[in-house]
């Protein structure tokens, strides 16, 4: 006689059917792992000197310490920097040199450790060259036309207003030039980061989200709904920055950009003003914040699911089909491991932030504080000086140790969410309804802005009052506020590393309300200052425009010399 409990369990298992999209994800991961184990053909690879590469690698480490970026954006930033040096500083703007630019770019990326040595096929140079070629052509169509209008405006100099207009247009030209460079580097990064597994996950997320999120018909944003979901996936799951998102929208408006004709590129250049405005509108879309909250939850579900499958595709597939209890246990183990890794990254990010703030902000401010204090005859306040030096590190340390940890409720919701993603029978039955973005009336909007201004005055006023009671002079107070805003902004920024795994809505309380009231204005100023000061980073200027170009020439010559010596060795055999 069959055990009734066993029979019941089999019945439950048979009702858990893996969805076709997740079946495809299993197949792609298994295929990629199988291909990775095979030796492959004898396709020529790009090879650089390991010894010479170490110099470039350590230089990159030093540079990244004074130019804070998230780890996943470092390669894209390096691509943009190398292209800027070749296209702007070295003025290589000829389409015919696209292959030379591509080869130089890939070799530099390999030397700096952004790409593996002796792994990238030489045909990749041709792929990157075709990208560079069409972007140079677009740039040559856009910038000269812009320059012609500037020359015309310059010729009409007769008033101060005309001169001011000319300077404004020069700034616009520089911004446009940098934006075109960002589009080029984003497409190259996209090409170098092609991953069949990520592609399947993005497609699965897009399909699931478009089915489960509904936009009421009375909301006049229907035409942007799907592209906003697509952008949200790349912003949350793939961690794309604004430049890479801009390129996605650029392709959205130019369907034939993959292989455009010269006439297509010329037409794009003629419509560049309209195109840049349309891209900006999509980046600042009213649905963005609502969708990001939803997409972030799906990002956690798919990240944990994919990480679990990658460990043992066949074994986990068997668990999903035949043993749901083991399936959910595997998901829980993966989440715990990822969460612990995130906490470790949090400490590393805090340490990097402290180094960045000290090297690029604190050091300069402290160098100025001592001579200014002496010049004004106020003397050096060693207590204030020590507080200003230690405060950023202390604030970031507190931010790390007080970061909210995952709760039991959060863990259960993630496991449930993964189950809804994997099994057809557990898919969401009720769609998520978006609401019409909040729009305040003119009077209410003015009132809220006034109240928000008051929070700035109260927050900074309270800090100044405390420092005055501690006998800080006005120079030390200014420097302390400077450090406070930067450290506050970076504290919020690095806490996102762990908070991205929190899918349960945080419960508001009186303490968090008052903390937001006083703390957010300070962090907002820190963000503003960070964006402005990043443009005038003295260390970056020295490294990029004075040291990097000759250093990279030296590295190139050194590598060619090592090849020459190796050839001479071969002749002796």
Q: What is the pLDDT of residue 50?
A: 80
Q: What is the pLDDT of residue 568?
A: 67
> What sign has the CA pseudo-torsion 268, 274, 277, 278?
negative
Cα separation, 471 vs 493, in Å, equals 32
SS3 213: strand
164-to-151, 167, 169, 177, 212 alpha-carbon distances in Å: 14, 5, 9, 20, 52
Cα separation, 319 vs 18, in Å, equals 11
Contact in structure between 489 and 527 (CB atoms under 8 Å): yes
Q: What is the pLDDT of residue 217?
A: 74
Q: Whole-model pTM above 0.85?
A: no
Domain residue ranges of the chain, discontinuous segments joined by +: 46-194, 309-536
Q: What is the pLDDT of residue 533?
A: 64
Contact in structure between 300 and 174 (CB atoms under 8 Å): no
Q: What is the pLDDT of residue 510?
A: 67
Q: What is the pLDDT of residue 247?
A: 96
Partners of 204 in beta bridges: none
Residue for token digits 């019409």?
436
Q: What is the pLDDT of residue 566?
A: 67
Q: What is the pLDDT of residue 226?
A: 92
Q: In a 10 Å sphere around its CB, with 0-12 CB exposed, 13-18 middle and 19+ buried, how is residue 566 labelled?
A: exposed
Q: What is the pLDDT of residue 12?
A: 46
Q: What is the pLDDT of residue 536?
A: 54
pLDDT, averaged in runs of 10, over the chain (573 residues): 39 65 92 70 82 78 69 87 78 68 92 90 94 92 64 56 69 85 94 92 94 80 89 94 95 93 92 92 91 93 93 87 87 90 84 73 63 65 77 82 81 90 73 75 71 82 88 82 84 84 75 71 81 60 64 71 67 62
Q: In angstroms, how far apart are the furthest CA atoms of the chain?
A: 103
Contact in structure between 109 and 67 (CB atoms under 8 Å): no
Cα separation, 204 vs 19, in Å, equals 10
């Amino acid at each position: 006689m069959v055990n009734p409990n066993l029979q019941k369990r089999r019945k439950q298992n048979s009702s858990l059917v893996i969805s076709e999209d997740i079946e495809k994800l299993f197949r792609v991961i298994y295929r990629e792992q199988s291909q990775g184990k095979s030796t492959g053909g004898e396709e020529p690879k790009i090879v650089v000197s390991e010894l010479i590469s170490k110099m470039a690698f350590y230089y990159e480490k030093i540079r990244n310490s004074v130019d804070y970026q998230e780890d996943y954006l470092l390669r894209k930033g390096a691509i943009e920097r190398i292209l800027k040096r070749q296209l702007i500083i070295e003025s290589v703007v000829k389409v015919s040199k696209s292959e030379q630019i591509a080869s130089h770019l890939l070799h530099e990326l390999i030397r700096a450790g952004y790409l593996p040595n002796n792994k990238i096929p030489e045909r990749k140079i041709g792929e990157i060259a075709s990208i560079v070629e069409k972007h140079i052509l677009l740039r040559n169509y856009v910038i000269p036309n812009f320059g012609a209008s500037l020359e015309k405006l310059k010729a009409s100099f007769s008033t101060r207003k005309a001169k001011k207009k000319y300077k404004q247009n020069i700034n616009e030209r520089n911004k446009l030039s940098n934006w075109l460079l960002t589009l080029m580097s984003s497409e190259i990064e996209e090409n170098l980061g092609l991953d069949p597994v990520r592609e399947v996950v993005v497609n699965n997320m897009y399909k699931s989200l478009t089915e489960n999120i509904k936009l009421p018909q009375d909301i006049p944003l229907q035409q942007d709904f799907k592209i906003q979901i697509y952008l949200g996936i790349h912003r949350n799951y793939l961690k794309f920055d604004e430049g890479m998102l801009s390129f996605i929208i650029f392709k959205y408006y130019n369907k034939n950009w993959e292989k455009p004709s010269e006439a297509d590129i010329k037409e794009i250049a003629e419509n560049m003003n309209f195109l840049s405005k349309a891209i900006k509108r999509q980046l600042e879309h009213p649905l963005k914040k609502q969708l990001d909250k939803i997409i972030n939850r799906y990002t956690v579900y798919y990240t944990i699911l994919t990480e679990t499958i990658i460990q043992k595709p066949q074994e986990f597939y068997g668990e999903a089909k035949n043993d749901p209890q083991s399936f959910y246990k595997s998901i829980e183990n993966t989440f715990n491991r990822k969460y612990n890794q995130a906490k470790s990254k949090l400490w590393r990010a805090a340490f990097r932030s402290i180094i960045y703030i000290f090297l690029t902000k604190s050091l300069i401010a402290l160098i100025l504080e001592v001579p200014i204090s002496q010049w004004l005859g106020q003397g050096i306040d060693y207590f204030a000086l020590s507080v200003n030096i230690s405060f950023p590190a202390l604030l970031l340390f507190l931010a790390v140790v007080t970061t909210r940890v995952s709760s039991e409720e959060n863990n259960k919701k993630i496991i449930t969410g993964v189950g809804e993603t994997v099994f057809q029978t557990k898919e969401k039955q009720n769609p998520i309804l978006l609401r019409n973005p909040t729009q305040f009336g003119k009077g209410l909007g003015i009132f809220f802005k006034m109240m928000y201004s008051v929070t700035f005055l109260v927050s900074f006023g309270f800090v100044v009052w405390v420092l005055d009671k501690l006998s800080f002079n006005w120079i030390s107070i200014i420097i302390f506020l400077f450090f406070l805003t930067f450290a506050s902004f970076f504290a919020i920024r690095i806490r996102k590393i762990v908070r991205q795994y929190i899918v349960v809505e945080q419960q508001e309380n009186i303490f968090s309300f008052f903390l937001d009231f006083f703390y957010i204005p300070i962090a907002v100023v820190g963000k503003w200052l960070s964006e402005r000061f990043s443009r005038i980073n003295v260390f970056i200027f020295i490294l990029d425009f004075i040291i990097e170009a000759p250093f990279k020439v030296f590295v190139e010559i050194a590598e060619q010399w090592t090849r020459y010596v190796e050839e001479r060795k071969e002749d002796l055999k």
